Amino acid sequence: MTRGTGLGALCWPELDGSAVTLLVPLGAVEQHGPHLPLDTDIRIADAVARRAQPRLAGDRPDSELFIVAPGLPYGASGEHEGFPGTVSLGHEALRLVLVEYGRSACRWARRIVFVNGHGGNGRTLVDAVRLLRYEGREVAWFACGHPGGDAHAGDTETSVLLNLSPDDVRLSEAVAGNRAPIAELLSPMRSGGVAAVSANGVLGDPTTATADRGGTLLAGFADALVAAVGRWDVDERGLLRGGAAA
């Protein structure tokens, strides 16, 4: 088996008898300002998982596999529903999807890591992964992000997309949104969503973004995922320590 192959391209005998760690990208379909594609979050999560996979596989025996699953592109994005294009499953439906996914995949996978690209999925991941772990399954999640990054569709995400998918970034449409600290925005966002605090859906400033910084950020996310999976230290939220705080 080619170690870089994703789950969808494999046949079942290639997995039979192996100790599999399954990396499952999780994102959202939601507005990302007037300049970024709606599927930004799953693109980032998938890229991080795919960059980490060959490093995790390394020189391990053929019986120990690290595999990237087809991503789960929809998430809990209710805070963005004031903008066209957003499709949110909501907390309860997403929780059920993650729990049933974990129960099914853990019949043959030794471990599962949900690689999360959307902060709004955090509450749901905590609930789902706690239940799966309570049931005795070795499941955890990882947050793609870094301390100090802006909240949404600003410099951080725009830089990463400029590195990943430059042709899909509408730089001519990139303008700053609300740059207040996220802690100051939480209260009005709870009642009115992102639209209540930012008319263009941006929380941050995308005009400073660069592809080079995006490459550095992606490499840092992948480094953190490799280290976190290698350490496998799971906190009380089911989060792998070593990733970004969520």
- Closest to 144 (Cα-Cα) out of 219, 78, 36: 219
Does 244 have pLDDT greater than 60? no
> Distance (Å, rounded) from C-alpha 38 to C-alpha 64?
35
The pLDDT score that the predictor gives to residue 243 is 60
The pLDDT score that the predictor gives to residue 148 is 76
Does 190 have pLDDT greater than 50? yes
The pLDDT score that the predictor gives to residue 4 is 58
Q: What tens digit of pLDDT does each residue of 1-44 get?
A: 555 579 999 999 999 999 999 999 999 999 999 999 999 999 99
Q: What tens digit of pLDDT does each residue of 4-16 get?
A: 579 999 999 999 9
CB-based contacts of 80, cutoff 8 Å, min separation 6: 28, 30, 31, 86, 88, 120, 193, 194, 201
> Distance (Å, rounded) from C-alpha 93 to C-alpha 21?
25
If you ran DSSP here, which 8-state letter would residue 83 be given?
S
The pLDDT score that the predictor gives to residue 2 is 52
If you ran DSSP here, which 8-state letter would residue 120 be given?
G
> Distance (Å, rounded) from C-alpha 100 to C-alpha 94?
10
Q: Left if phi > 0, otherwise alpha if psi is -120 to 50, otherwise beta: which for 164?
A: alpha
Q: What tens digit of pLDDT does each residue of 127-186 get?
A: 999 999 999 999 999 999 877 778 899 999 999 999 999 999 999 999 999 999 888 888
- 99: helix, coil or strand? helix
- Closest to 204 (Cα-Cα) out of 33, 66, 76, 23: 33
